[in-house]
Structures are given as C-alpha cells and as structure tokens.
C-alpha cells in the first residue's frame, strides 16, 4: 500500500471537513484488528475510503472489505483513492443507501464497522448481527455524539439521532450474546464482541 498517498488523502479529507476516523479511534480499532486478523470486514459509511484503506492493512491474506457509501461525489473519490493507494483488489465499494443494500448482502463478517447515519444505528446493528461470525466484533463510531447522548438537553435537530444512538447502546448492552464496552475515544466508540 502506498502510505504517502494515504497521508495525502487524509490531509485532503480533513481540509474538506469530511468526518474521517480520528487517530485515537483508529489506534483502538487497529489493536482489535491485529488480534482478530479478520478475513472479511463490512463497513457502513465509506466516505472517501480512508478508514477502509487503513483497515485493509490488518486483513488476513486473501481478506476483503465490503464498504457502503451513498454520496456520489464521495463514491467517485473513494474509487480513485483505492487505486492511488493500491488497495482496489481488497476493497469492494457498494454504491447506494446502506438501508437498501444491507438486506441484499449475505456475507459472513469477522468485523462490522458502523460509521454512517446515526438515526439508522439500530437497523445497522440488526443487519450486522445477521451477518456476524462467532467471535466477531461490531464496532460503532460516534455513539456518544459530542456528548449529546449522555446529556438531558438536545436540540430538535439532534433528537432522532440521540434517541437512536441510545437505543443502539441499550440493545448491545442487553444482548446476552454480546460483550460490549463503550469507550470515550473520538466521538464515542462502541465495541461489541460476539461470544
């Protein structure tokens, strides 16, 4: 993989205010991936492909990432980026709304990374659980949403997202098949191991 290109892509994404994975969050996930050595990863929310490209370093030989993005401009950039970095053989980009695409997937995944519309997290969880291998892990970014999830007061604009993030956290905590921890890294990271 071309790390120099990856760094350029990161810099450009940050300049354009694209919400790519934060360094401390990536560090935690890299630790998990190093232990699991996943064969298949599913990512929901590719943006310009930065996190998927970072994760691709930790795949087993022959491993693959499926990632989903609905924004046309970001799709175009992600495809270019995969080529520039030389990871186009490892990452498959599904173009469109994850709400429509996920039910059509039948993969078995060792890791699912949820990083898209916060209001859809409970649905994404349902779909992730359907396709997760035993001993697999579901990681969700932004679950504490700038502190709104843990505070009483939320603006109207954030209310649906907050309600659904709280529902996500409740479901992963209540699921007897999952061992979950919520970390205050980045914008809040939920990590659920399937027993």
Q: Does 142 bind Mg ion (CB under 5 A)?
A: yes
CA–CA dist 59, 4 (Å, integer): 20
Q: Does 139 bind ligand SAH (CB under 6 A)?
A: no
Which range touches Mg ion (CB under 5 A), out of 31-39, 81-89, 136-144, 156-164? 136-144
DSSP one-letter string for 162-183 = HHHHHHHHHHHHH-TTEEEEEE
User: Minimum distance from CB of 193 to Mg ion (Å)?
Assistant: 20
For residue 182, how many C-alpha atoms fall within 13 Å in the half-sphere facing its CB? Answer: 17
- Nearest residue by C-beta to ligand SAH? 45
Q: What's the helix, strand, coil split of the chain in %, to 5?
A: 50, 25, 30
Residues 149-188 that bind ligand SAH (CB under 6 A): none
Please report, for residues 35, 56, 186, the alpha-carbon distance to residue 168 in angstroms, rounded to integers and kept in the order given: 25, 26, 18
- 142: partner contacted, choices Mg ion, ligand SAH, none (Cβ within 5-8 A by kind): Mg ion
Decide whether 116 or 162 has the Cβ nearer to ligand SAH.
116
Decide whether 51 or 192 has the Cβ nearer to ligand SAH.
51
Which range touches ligand SAH (CB under 6 A), out of 34-42, 109-117, 129-137, 151-159? 109-117
Q: Does 99 bind ligand SAH (CB under 6 A)?
A: yes
User: Minimum distance from CB of 176 to Mg ion (Å)?
Assistant: 28
- Nearest one of 82, 47, 84 to 64, comparing CA atoms: 82
Helix residue ranges per DSSP H, the chain: 3-15, 23-36, 50-56, 72-85, 98-101, 121-131, 156-174
User: Minimum distance from CB of 162 to ligand SAH (Å)?
Assistant: 16
Sequence-distant (6+) residues with CB within 8 A of 73 are: none
Q: Does 41 bind ligand SAH (CB under 6 A)?
A: no
For residue 20, what are its two tokens?
A: 């790519």
Residues binding ligand SAH: number (CB under 6 A) = 20
**Interacting residue ranges for ligand SAH, rule: CB under 6 A:** 19-21, 45-47, 50-51, 68-71, 74, 97-99, 115-117, 120
**Interacting residue ranges for Mg ion, rule: CB under 5 A:** 115, 141-142
């Amino acid at each position: 993989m071309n790390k120099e290109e990856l760094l350029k892509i990161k810099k450009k994404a940050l300049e354009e205010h694209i919400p790519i994975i934060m360094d401390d969050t990536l560090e935690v996930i890299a630790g998990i991936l190093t232990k699991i050595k996943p064969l298949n990863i599913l990512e929901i929310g590719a943006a310009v492909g930065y996190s998927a490209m970072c994760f691709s370093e930790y795949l087993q030989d022959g491993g693959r990432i499926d990632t989903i993005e609905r924004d046309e401009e970001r799709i175009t950039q992600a495809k270019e980026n995969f080529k520039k970095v030389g990871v186009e053989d490892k990452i498959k980009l599904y173009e469109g709304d994850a709400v429509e695409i996920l039910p059509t997937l039948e993969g078995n995944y060792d890791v699912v990374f949820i990083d898209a519309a916060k209001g859809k997290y409970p649905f994404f969880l349902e779909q992730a659980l359907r396709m997760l291998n035993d001993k697999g892990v579901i990681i969700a970014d932004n679950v504490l949403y700038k502190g709104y999830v843990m505070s009483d007061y939320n603006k109207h604009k954030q209310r649906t997202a907050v309600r659904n993030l709280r529902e996500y956290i409740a479901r992963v905590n209540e699921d007897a098949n999952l061992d979950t921890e919520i970390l205050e890294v980045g914008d809040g990271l939920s990590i659920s191991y399937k027993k």
